[in-house]
Each structure stands twice: as structure tokens, then as C-alpha cells.
Amino acid sequence: MPQRFRPRGGFRRRFSPRPSARTDQGLLWAITAGQSKNMPSDVPIREAYVPKHKFADFAIDEGIKRNIAAKNYTETTPIQDQAIEAILEGKDVIGIANTGTGKTAAFLIPLIDKVIKDRTQNVLIITPTRELALQIQDELVLFARGFGIKSALCIGGTSMRRQRTEIAYRPNFVIGTPGRIIDLVRQNCLHLGGFASVVLDETDRMVDIGFIKDIKYLISLLPGRRQSLFFSATVSSKVKEIIQTFVTDPVTISVKVRDTVENISQEIIKVENSKQKVDKLHDLLIQEGFNKVLIFGRTKWGVQRLSDELAGRGFKAGAIHGNKSQSQRQKTLDQFRTNQIHILLATDVASRGLDIEDVSHVINYDMPASYDDYIHRIGRTGRMQKKGTALTFV
């Protein structure tokens, strides 16, 4: 276990520019409002959800059920309980759910069944980030094991040539980010007119990071007759614009009860000045129970410097950010998933979509830019009804 010692000279400089005092105060108020209950005070407590279905109840291929059982899934989450049945019936679905509620399985399981029953079916899944696309691809491989279903992963930072080759083999599933999918469309490699099933996942995030025009363009290339599945944690006016052009007579499934879930304990860590931050962080990380920790910083340079400092102090730590190649980011994520490293430092590139089991703590080393970013950051812990802790330095 790393021992306590003073940081080296030079590291004490500030990692990232501070937001305005007004921004910090507003975020602090939002984070602490209703903190004792881990939810806004005006949201009523609802009774525990009782699912109507187990996975074994759905009219899906027995091979899929075996693959689900191999992941030790038995009880469905609310979004899975309601969405799988609607998707199997061929309906368009708008799913509103918090992060970490199992929505990837909610759309993958019925779509895999659809492809098994009709191998001419093609599915397009559009996500905001490379990491989320990779996660969906990994889930697809597990749920579709033994069926010989081909897929193509179309994301930036990886070989375009390989992606063109994968598409040439006519995969049933194409999973990717908007920018790379558009690149392949414009190179006349990918033709969206043949996709009868389309998923927009984490749509609010795609809008937040400037993909709204790209999404509208991609929707314009899709066939008129299709099954459209739409998943988002929030629905802004811009997201509503997309909904209007994307779905037809949809079933709306909302299982979002509150911004943060009850099983995430939220705490504030006060520091008098920036010079104390790394020492305070060190003292936290050597405590019992900090088994798998995700630390968020504001800038890629600051995240890398903090990662190097922690590694120098004896912690098993790694970093992912925009200066890392996709292969480097994926290698570090795999090390974190398999417990080869116990601390992962990241910019907000990791705050959406990552599903890493048993993250014990999320630490906001730098304040998030917005309350929504805070919600998505801390959603990396306390997933699938497990307990988690979120700490924010102020």
C-alpha cells in the first residue's frame, strides 16, 4: 500500500483552469441540495420496482437465454422489463433512463433475436463516444455467442481500411459514432438504406457535444419503414427535434425516478487551497474500501500529470484522455476492468456510457462543468443496484 509523503516540487501548480466562482457556487448548491437523501427534495420516494418479466419469460431464442444466464442475469431491470417486450413486438421505443440501468441489454437482446430469426435484417447503432461503441460491441459478442452474427465497429482512432473490410462482409450489426459513420457513407462504403432497425443511444450526449446536424443527416438517409429505438437520460428541446423526425407512434418508457440513485453516497471533500489537493487525495486512496476508483479531472494535461504523480507514489494508476490513441485508451480500460490497475483517471470522455463493474468510488478531483456532467460522472459507480460512493473536491 502506498505510504504518505510530500509531493515533488513543481506538481503543486494548478492542474486545470478553475471555472468562475459563480459556476462553482451553483454546482456546489446543486450537488449538496438534498444530499442527505441523494436526490432532489421535491422528488417523492417511489416504491421498489417489481418486474413483470424474468429473462426466461421473453419469447427469444433459447441460445440467447443461455448466453444471458452465462452472465448471471436473471431479474430484469425496469428498462429491460418494459423495453424488451415492446421491441420484440416491432414497436418504436423512446427509452428515458438513468445511466447504469441496463439499457444496452434492453435493446441488444431483442435485436439479436430479430437477426437470428431473419438473417437479412441489419441493425445500425449510433453512439456519442468510442468507448460506448466498444462497450456495446463487447455486449453484442457475449449475447450473440454461438450464432455467427457479424458486426462492424466504426469509430475514430482506428483503421478505416479495416472498417471498410468489415462492412464489405455485410455485417448484421454496425455500431459507431456519427463522424466515422458519415465518413464511411461519403466514401460510398456504407449504405444506410438497408437498415431496418436503428438505435440512437445516449442521444442527449450526442446533442451536447455538437452532433445534432450529423444525427439529422444520418436519419435522412435511413429507410422510411424501420424500427427506431431512442435512448436518452434527458430530453431537451433539441433532443425533441430529433425524436419528431426519428420515431413513429412510439412507446415511451420512462424509468428515470431521480437524477441520482439512492445507492450512491455523495460527499464533499473540502480543501483550503490547491496545494492540499493531491495530499488529501493520497490520504483517501490509502483508506480501506477504495478498491476500484475512477477520478475525473478537467483537462487531459492535468489528468496525465495526476496519473503520473500517483504512479510515482506507488499506486497502480492509468489515464485515458484525448491525447491517448484509441488503442492506448482501450488497453488502459481493459487493465482497469481486470483489476491490473486500481485507479483510472479520466477527462469527461469517460463520464458517459462506460459500464465497468464494481467501481467503488468516483472522485471529482476537478469540479465538473455542469450539473449534468456531475450526474453522468458519478453514474459510473452504484451501477445495477450496487452501492457506490461519489466524492467531490471543493
Give the model confidence (pLDDT) of 61-120 as tens digits.
999 999 999 998 888 999 999 999 999 999 999 999 876 788 999 999 999 999 999 999
178, 211 Cβ separation under 8 angstroms: yes
Residues forming beta bridges with residue 154, ordered by sequence position: 176
CA-nearest of 213, 235, 257, 222 to 94 is 235
The per-residue pLDDT for 274 is 73
Question: How confident is the prediction for the chain on average, in pLDDT?
Answer: 85
Please check the confidence at residue 140 and state whether its pLDDT lies above 50: yes
In this structure, of 264-273, 290-299, 306-315, 383-392, the range with the lowest mean pLDDT score is 383-392
Q: Which triple of cell numbers denotes residue 250?
A: 412510439
Strand order in the sheet with 197-200: 151-154, 173-176, 123-126, 197-200, 227-232, 93-96, 251-254
The per-residue pLDDT for 78 is 92
159, 187 Cβ separation under 8 angstroms: no
Distance in angstroms (rounded) separating the CA atoms of residues 157 and 164 = 14
pTM over 0.85? The answer is no
Please check the confidence at residue 240 and state whether its pLDDT lies above 50: yes
Distance in angstroms (rounded) separating the CA atoms of residues 170 and 181 = 15
221 or 21: which carries more pLDDT confidence?
A: 221
The per-residue pLDDT for 293 is 95
pLDDT band at 43 (very low <50, low <70, confident <90, very high): very low
User: What tens digit of pLDDT does each residue of 294-342 get?
Assistant: 999 999 899 999 999 999 999 999 999 878 887 888 899 889 989 999 9
CA-nearest of 270, 223, 218, 216 to 245 is 216
Distance in angstroms (rounded) separating the CA atoms of residues 157 and 289 = 35
Per-residue pLDDT averaged across 355-360, rounded? 84
The per-residue pLDDT for 21 is 47
Percent of the chain topping pLDDT 70: 83
In this structure, of 1-5, 38-42, 155-159, 200-204, the range with the lowest mean pLDDT score is 38-42
Per-residue pLDDT averaged across 7-21, rounded? 39
For the stretch 356-371, what's the b/e string if a residue is b when 16 or more beta carbons lie within 10 angstroms of its beta carbon? beebbbbbbbbbbebe
pLDDT band at 242 (very low <50, low <70, confident <90, very high): very high
Q: Which triple of cell numbers denotes residue 296?
A: 475525473
Strand locations in the chain (E):
93-96, 123-126, 151-154, 173-176, 197-200, 227-232, 251-254, 264-269, 293-296, 317-320, 343-346, 361-364, 388-393
Q: Tally the C-alpha atoms within 13 A of residue 156's C-alpha that lie toward its C-beta.
A: 12
Per-residue pLDDT averaged across 164-175, rounded? 96
The per-residue pLDDT for 354 is 67
Please check the confidence at residue 355 and state whether its pLDDT lies above 80: no
Positive or negative, the CA dihedral 71, 74, 75, 80 is: positive
Q: Which triple of cell numbers denotes residue 322?
A: 484525448
Per-residue pLDDT averaged across 142-166, rounded? 95
Q: Which domains does the chain have, with CATH numbers?
A: 25-42+262-393 (3.40.50.300), 55-254 (3.40.50.300)
Distance in angstroms (rounded) separating the CA atoms of residues 306 and 295 = 10
